[in-house]
Structure 1
């Protein structure tokens, strides 16, 4: 049974279009996944910096508190020695 040439021509054109669109679709998918990965990475880096800043601030506060406590302890000890001798 012969098939009309316009039908076979139409199917051939459709197949050619699908094959022609495949590389563009593949690149689009690659770009989208790469963009998602880079965006997530940038978010993670900013979040890590924020958390590190909080830790550094807490460490600074603890260091200052330690220095202030040492000064008070030295003054207290010196006062105690003065009172004992006096």
Structure 2
């Protein structure tokens, strides 16, 4: 059964187009995945910095409270001696 040459040409061109676009599609997918991974890394770094800042601030408050307590206890001792 003979096949029309236009149909054969059309199928061949579509197959060639798909094969030709494959590297570009693969590279696009790779670049998208890489950019998403980098953005997640940046987000995680910012979150870690924020959490570290909160921890450092809490440690500073505890240190100031401890120093205030030591000073207060010294005053109480002096008052008790009188």
Q: TM-score, normalised by structure 2?
A: 0.94
By how many angstroms is 1:76 displaced?
1.0
2:69 alignment partner in structure 1:
69
Q: Distance in 1 between matches of 2:56 and 2:65?
A: 14
Q: What is the root-mean-square deviation in Å for CA atoms of aligned residues? A: 0.9
In structure 1, stretches of 5+ residues that fail to align are none
Q: TM-score, normalised by structure 1?
A: 0.90
Work out the number of aligned pairs and report it.
Answer: 82
1:3-82 equivalences in 2 (<5 Å): 3-81=3-81
Flag as ranges the 4+ runs of structure 1 deviating above 4 A: none
In structure 2, stretches of 5+ residues that fail to align are none
Give the structure with higher Rg (CA). 1
By how many angstroms is 1:11 displaced?
0.6
